Amino acid sequence: MPMSRCLMPYQTLVNYSFLVSLMILCKHVVSSPSITSFRRHWLRANLIQCEPIAISLCQDLPYNQTGFPNPLNDQNQQAARVGLHGFLLLIESQCSPYGRFFLCLLYTPACNEEYSLVLPPCRKVCERVQEDCEDTMNSFGFKWPEFLSCKRFPTSGLCTGPKMGTDRLTTHSSHFSEAEKRTFPQTTSSQDTTTTTNDNNNNTKQHQHQLLCPPELRTPDKLNYKLIIGSFIIPDCGAPCIGMFFTESQVQFARLFNGILSSFALIPCFFVTVTFLINIQRFQYPQRVVLFQSFCYSLVSLNYYLAAFFYRDTVACIDMAPLSCPNQTCQLVSLVRQGTKNGICTLSFILVYFFSMAASVWSVIFGLVWFLAATKKWCSEAIEAKYLYYHSISWGLPILQTSILLNYGYIGGDVLSGVCQTGLFNTTVLIASLLLPHTLYFLVSLIFRLTAFISLIRISKTNGRIRDLLRKFRFFSVVSATCVSITISCLFYESLYKDQWLSTWYSRISNATEQDTLPSPDHPQQPSFVVFLLKYTVLYIHALLPAMFLANSKTFLTWTEICPDRAPP
């Protein structure tokens, strides 16, 4: 059944979306400023510079100049544009003929060029909009929020608004008296400054939840889903699995791509791990560290393989009926899974994140043990004697990192790979949990390896027997450093542009005009599919390195002893 046939009537749906937005705004309001503080804020004419209105929603009104800060403490038109986006559905609902007028006067107040003064909306405008829309709100059990309390706006004097029954703009006290002129500007006392600062902070808090969730992406409260778009948080809202950043064909190709490459990486890693279990004594330190890396990469590759050919969309995505569907019989919507409520998703995240971080820490230990062997001249037995420290660090740090992310629920489905990862829609989490740890571990490992490599070069001049080992160490370190550098570059690319991708996507689904899009047009607004494929590719190349480092004639001899050739009967 088409989704459009199952949705509530458009008028009711739009009003409901507006009510939900107002409820969110009201929830985060600390307190509304007094009328005196409100007026004091707007009489500081020395801070106001009139400028043409650039927001398309407010460009065809009877006034064309605005100034900032506005009543919501927005400092520029870009911030005001973001706030207006949260009320697009209210404007489209047309519950009041003065709704758009009132919101534009609130976000882009009229500016008097002669006195460089911005004029807030009059109380009568607010009361008319409240009268027109309050019945609809009451039918859903909500009251007019304090955030839009009409008591905040002046009844006369320095205010403006449309003349009721017409579209003509009426400005009260447009001809100011000499006494009023002398009050521009006026100095506020320390107490007034404190009050204004508190009002600004309250307005800032009010401004954090003004973006509306599209009806088809709303989720039940119990799931605790949310979308973070820049500094805005949209609660009880999910992200679509298909069409957000990548097309369905791109997602299918990425799944197949990951499945094939992960199988190529999984087999050698499994081979090396089993070889180590068969003959543990054959692999001594410092070579033994590579085996633990191989073990970590084998589990990471296994998870990507399962996601590509077995999980499909059951782990990274969740199918649910839209909340806007009255009988829950509408076409299911596939949303990106969030949080730790799904056990398989949580397990998938642990396999990928924990063992990826463990492999990174083991790379640091790899550089450390080679530093001890080449620079400090430690023998294999002396290095092995400290094995408890190596394991404590290599498993302890990833456990700590993983536990923190699990505790805060910073987990989500990776649509391209089908696994669960972290930092998918939260740039701060991406930087803190992936970019910074990978960079830190890489730099520490690089220092140890460079020092060890210099020492090995000096030793090889007097001992020709380690030249083969030196070449192998150099190849392993160079390829490993290249792979990690590319991974860090891809993560940096994501962290740099992710907020803009999310803003572009939200503007698109909110039917925003081109002038009202949130991101800057000077930056790319869609992620590069190739960059994400490159990130997966270097992961599997890195997973192959331990097998290449340890593969030699003795490795195959171990298997020959286990599986000897049988003579024909």
Predicted local confidence at residue 302, as pLDDT: 93
**DSSP structural state of residue 414:** -
The structure's pTM equals 0.63
More confident of the two residues 492 and 1: 492
What is the average pLDDT score of the chain?
76
Q: Which of 127, 152, 177 is where one domain is finished?
A: 152
Name the domain count of the chain: 2
In terms of phi and psi (left: phi > 0; alpha: psi -120 to 50; beta: otherwise), the region of 567 is: beta
122 burial (CB, 10 Å; 0-12 / 13-18 / 19+) is: buried
Span of 197-211, 412-426, 477-491 with lowest mean pLDDT: 197-211
Rounded-to-integer distance, Cα 353 and Cα 131, Å: 54
Q: Is position 568 within any domain?
A: no
Residue 354 has pLDDT above 60, yes or no: yes
pLDDT at 171: 43
Q: Report if residue 289 sits inside a domain.
A: yes
Residues 129 and 263 occupy one common structural domain: no
The answer to whether residue 133 sits within a structural domain is yes
On whether both 146 and 240 belong to a single domain, the answer is no
pLDDT at 534: 96
Which residue would you say has higher pLDDT here, 27 or 404?
404
- The reply to whether 205 falls in a domain is no
Structure token pair of residue 549: 């480092």
Mean pLDDT comparison of 21-35, 113-127, 136-150, 425-439, highest-scoring range: 425-439
- Both 137 and 246 in one domain: the answer is no
Report the pLDDT value the prediction gives residue 82, as an integer from 0 to 100. Answer: 78
For residue 16, being part of any structural domain is answered with no
Last residue of a domain, one of 91, 122, 152: 152
For the ranges 178-192, 438-452, 476-490, 548-562, which has the lowest average pLDDT? 178-192
Position 513 scores a pLDDT of: 38
Query: To the nearest whole percent, how much of the chain has pLDDT over 70?
Result: 71
135 and 269 housed in the same domain: no
Q: Are residues 147 and 256 in the same domain?
A: no
Q: Are both 332 and 419 inside the same structural domain?
A: yes
Q: What is the pLDDT of residue 503?
A: 84
Average pLDDT over residues 539-560: 76
CA distance 325 to 329: 7
pLDDT one-digit tens code per residue, 452-465: 999 988 888 777 67
The verdict on residue 294 lying in a domain is yes
Q: Which positions ≥6 away from 70 have C-beta within 8 Å? A: 80, 106, 107, 108, 109, 118
Do 334 and 456 lie in one domain? The reply is yes
pLDDT for 177 equals: 33
At 33 the pLDDT is 38
What percent of the chain lies above the pLDDT cut of 90?
30
Report the chain's terminal Cα–Cα distance, integer Å.
67
Give the CATH number for residue 81. Answer: 1.10.2000.10
- Collect contacts of 446-452 with beta carbons under 8 A, ≥24 apart: 446/367, 446/481, 447/367, 448/364, 448/367, 448/368, 448/370, 448/371, 449/366, 449/367, 449/370, 449/371, 449/477, 449/481, 451/371, 451/374, 451/375, 452/367, 452/370, 452/371, 452/373, 452/374, 452/375
**Would you say residue 172 lies in a domain?**
no
User: Do 318 and 412 belong together in one domain?
Assistant: yes
Give residue 450's domain range. 231-514+522-562
pLDDT digits (tens, 9 = 90+) for 67-98: 888 877 778 888 888 777 767 766 776 778 88
- Of 152, 168, 198, the residue that ends a domain is 152
Return the pLDDT at 227.
87
Domain of residue 533, CATH code: 1.20.1070.10
Q: Is residue 447 part of a domain?
A: yes
Task: Write the pLDDT tens digit of every residue in 31-53.
Answer: 333 333 344 444 443 357 788 99
pLDDT band at 326 (very low <50, low <70, confident <90, very high): low
| pLDDT for position 332 | 82
pLDDT 10s digits, 200-256: 444 444 443 356 777 778 888 888 898 888 777 888 888 999 888 999 999 999 999
Residue 393 has pLDDT above 80, yes or no: yes
- Across 122-136, 344-358, 464-478, the highest mean pLDDT is recorded for 344-358
